[in-house]
């Protein structure tokens, strides 16, 4: 763990006027609050906040942000309160810590509707102070770097959330280095074989061609020396995920993929950027269609650079990015450059974007969207690369890559998009599905009485256009959709023995984040919602059809809508067992089996107990149970054991040997099961094998602390 003096040295290196006493106080306070807590790796928990703070020093952020990083988990995970933090460190830090806590509690990987609402909350938190999201991104980066210590299913959940939300958000904020690392760390979890194959091919390529990066960097430096330009030249191989994504998008194999290497030229001024571009294009052939000038047309997050792809040494295509040192600072830090310090004062960078203006630009297009449209819009906006087009008057319109004239029309005004009947690009009439390119001039042709068509949804790519088209289509066919939706709801509710009353529909609409029950029926009639979605919102225990697997998110019944269950690692309960929920601050509800010894220590805290039960439907084989086995040390025994488990439709997720002797092995196997019956079948099959001396279910609770459970049983009887 980084000690306090090393951390202060990192801060004072760029901010000699830092309030080091306050940082020391925050370090001591955080250390005290987290004392006794450990991470999944076994390290003291406080190593995490310190690592997050160290990551933020790399972006030369202010004292308040560094202190927030040290304290960002205290309010959520310790006895410290908002009032405690405010009294010691001031209102600014307290509000930042509170903002990070609220972001941590958002379930961004939950159902689509709830996820959209949480996206809105995320945006609101960002709009109050963007430093909140900077701390959260650093928090997620460190957690992803140490994710191997999490349970496999937790690793997948966090990696998917990182890939879908946090990585593109970092990119949208201009922090490209963080986006690339987050993507690659998530890729390592989600597709380890794919990542390994890319790395193996890189090693083979380097063995065959030598150090291409060093050679091309040397070639570029020689060309710059010829024309007397002072600049720094850096080269690197692109990240495995970046290469994998290009392979998937273009349908190409690794050997046919171009520009797997990237080079940066950092100059002293803007004039030198264009001189460098001329020198490179004189020496190597430029690849058509692969040139972008983000200096003359910067991105909304302040990013400025010239991008060009050329056929370099041995015909290999390489991408070269050219920018000044100040532009490079913004390219590395993005919106965070606004808070960067140098020599104790806020660094004056003319290219850094005002965070308030950036947030305003990001959120202004979302105000008209409803929850689901908002979610789609947000993701499209975060992932988009940009295309710059011109109006007939010469104004610039920024659109995501792949945008069409319809996106352009809706980007100007919803009324123009709704009444669009045609478009001209550079004076030539083109179909509405034409993909726009940089530098084109676009003119929209409109007509009174024109209304959006359903087919337009397949043409547009921006969330704003999709939202406006759907809204117009709903309004046009609203009465017909409401009538049809009412009939669909009636049939669906009768199917589960319930009545589709106005009150029931109003309650479902509220749960789904819709305006009223008529809006719910309209979406039901237009097939934007399914009848099963509506029924499951009110009656989750009745919504699973026969033969259909119960989603893990709906497996436990008896929770409040805002409560999220987590299986207790101590007892590993599985469907079919009697269970109880225990509330934990910052962890939601932990589900325990009724005979878990841990419960004895909680019997004097009845307000934390929740009576729960499993969904009665068919569960997926996703509930891990650890089995401890003693087997003969003979050839083929372990293979036969694995086969027996597989025959019972169970999956082995982990296996390790606890003890090895000449005549036997003792091992622990993590088996993914459907329910308690599946567990019984697996254990019976194993016990019947002649080479299995013993098999038992292993529970992690401390057996020495276990006491009689009669009082626990009595307490559960009171719930029944």
Residue positions annotated with a catalytic role = 76-77
- Output the CA–CA distances (angstroms, integers) from residue 165 to 126, 149, 378, 674, in the order listed: 14, 22, 9, 30
Distance CA 496, CA 491 (A): 9
Identify the three-state secondary structure at position 311: strand
Distance CA 115, CA 97 (A): 22
Distance CA 268, CA 537 (A): 60
Identify the three-state secondary structure at position 622: coil
Residue 574: how many other CB atoms lie within 10 Å: 24
Burial of 684 (0-12, 13-18, 19+ CB in 10 A): exposed
Give residues with Cβ within 8 angstroms of 325, minimum separation 6.
Answer: 266, 267, 268
Identify the three-state secondary structure at position 316: coil
Give residues with Cβ within 8 angstroms of 19, minimum separation 6.
Answer: 63
The answer to whether 716 and 577 are in contact (CB under 8 A) is no
Instruction: Write b or e for each residue in 162-176: b if 16 or more Cβ atoms lie within 10 A of its Cβ, otherwise e.
Output: bbbbbbbbbbbbbbb
Give residues with Cβ within 8 angstroms of 170, minimum separation 6.
Answer: 137, 176, 178, 179, 182, 334
607 secondary structure, DSSP code: G
Identify the three-state secondary structure at position 457: helix
Residue 140: how many other CB atoms lie within 10 Å: 25
The answer to whether 344 and 319 are in contact (CB under 8 A) is no
For the chain, the farthest-separated pair of C-alpha atoms sits apart, in whole angstroms, at 88
β-partners of residue 582 are: 590, 609
Per-position DSSP letters for 344-411, written without gaps between them = TEE---TTPPPHHHHHHHHHGGGTT--HHHHHHHHHHHHH--EEEEE-TTS-EEEEETT--HHHHHHH
- Output the CA–CA distances (angstroms, integers) from residue 75 to 35, 55, 382, in the order listed: 14, 21, 30
The two three-digit tokens of residue 411, written as one number: 């980007």
β-partners of residue 138 are: none
């Amino acid at each position: 763990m980084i000690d306090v003096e090393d951390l202060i040295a990192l801060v004072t290196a760029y901010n000699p006027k830092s309030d080091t006493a306050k940082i020391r106080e925050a370090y001591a306070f955080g250390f005290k609050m987290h004392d006794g807590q450990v991470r999944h790796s076994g390290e003291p928990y406080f190593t995490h906040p310190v690592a997050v703070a160290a990551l933020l020093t790399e972006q030369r952020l202010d004292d308040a942000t560094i202190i927030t990083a040290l304290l960002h988990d205290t309010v959520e995970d310790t006895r410290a309160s908002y009032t405690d933090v405010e009294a010691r460190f001031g209102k600014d830090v307290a509000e930042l810590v509170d903002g990070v806590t609220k972001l941590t509690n958002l379930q961004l990987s939950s159902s689509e509707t709830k996820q959209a609402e949480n996206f809105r909350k995320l945006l609101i938190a960002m709009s109050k102070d963007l430093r909140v999201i900077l701390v959260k991104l650093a928090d997620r980066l460190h957690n992803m770097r140490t994710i191997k210590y999490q349970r496999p299913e937790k690793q997948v959940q966090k990696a998917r959330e990182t890939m879908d939300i946090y990585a593109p958000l970092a990119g949208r904020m201009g922090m490209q280095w963080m986006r690339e690392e987050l993507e690659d760390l998530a890729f390592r979890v989600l597709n380890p074989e794919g990542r390994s194959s890319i790395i193996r091919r890189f090693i083979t390529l380097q063995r065959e061609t030598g150090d291409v990066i060093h050679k091309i960097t040397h070639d570029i430096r020689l060309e710059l020396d010829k024309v007397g330009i002072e600049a720094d030249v850096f080269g690197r191989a692109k990240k495995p995920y970046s290469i994998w994504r290009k392979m998937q998008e273009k349908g190409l194999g690794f050997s046919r993929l171009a520009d797997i290497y990237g080079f940066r030229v950092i100059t002293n001024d803007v004039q030198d950027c264009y001189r460098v571009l001329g020198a490179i294009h004189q020496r190597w052939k430029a690849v058509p269609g692969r040139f972008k000038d983000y200096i003359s047309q910067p991105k909304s997050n302040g990013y400025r650079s010239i991008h060009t792809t050329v056929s370099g040494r041995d015909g290999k295509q390489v991408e070269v990015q050219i920018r000044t040192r100040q532009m490079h600072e913004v390219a590395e830090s993005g919106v965070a450059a606004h808070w960067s310090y140098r020599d104790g004062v806020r660094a004056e960078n003319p290219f850094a974007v005002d965070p308030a203006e950036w947030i305003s630009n990001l959120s202004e297009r979302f105000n008209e969207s409803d929850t689901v449209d908002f979610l789609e819009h947000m993701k499209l906006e975060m992932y988009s690369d940009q295309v710059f087009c011109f109006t007939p008057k010469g104004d610039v319109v920024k659109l995501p890559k792949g945008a069409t004239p319809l996106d352009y029309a809706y980007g100007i005004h919803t009324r123009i998009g709704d009444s669009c009947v045609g478009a001209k690009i550079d004076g030539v009439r083109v179909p509405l599905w034409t993909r726009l390119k940089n530098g084109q001039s676009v003119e929209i042709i409109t007509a009174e009485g024109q209304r959006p068509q359903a087919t337009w949804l397949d043409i547009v790519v921006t969330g704003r256009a999709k939202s406006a088209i759907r809204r117009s289509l709903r309004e046009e066919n609203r009465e017909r959709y409401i009538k049809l939706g009412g009939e669909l709801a009636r049939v669906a509710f009768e199917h589960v023995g319930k009545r589709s009353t106005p009150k029931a529909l109003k309650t479902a609409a509220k749960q789904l984040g819709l305006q009223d029950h008529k809006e719910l029926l309209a979406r039901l009639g237009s097939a934007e919602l399914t009848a099963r979605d509506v029924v499951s919102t009110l009656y989750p225990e009745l919504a699973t059809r026969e033969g259909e697997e119960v989603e893990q998110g709906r497996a436990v019944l008896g929770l409040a809508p805002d409560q999220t269950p987590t299986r207790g690692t101590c007892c590993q309960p599985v469907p079919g067992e009697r269970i109880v929920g225990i509330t934990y601050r910052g962890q939601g509800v932990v589900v325990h089996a009724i005979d878990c010894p841990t419960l004895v220590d909680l019997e004097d805290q009845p307000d934390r107990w929740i009576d729960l039960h499993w969904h009665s439907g068919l569960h997926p084989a996703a509930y891990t149970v650890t089995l401890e086995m003693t087997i003969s040390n003979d050839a083929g025994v372990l293979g036969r054991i694995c086969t027996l488990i597989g025959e019972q439709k169970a999956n082995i997720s982990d296996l390790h040997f606890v003890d090895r002797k000449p005549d036997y092995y003792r091992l622990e196997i993590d088996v993914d099961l459907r329910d308690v019956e599946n567990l019984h079948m697996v254990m019976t099959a194993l016990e019947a094998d002649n080479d299995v001396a013993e098999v038992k279910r292993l529970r992690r609770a401390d057996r020495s602390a276990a006491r009689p459970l009669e009082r626990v049983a009595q307490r559960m009887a009171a719930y029944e």
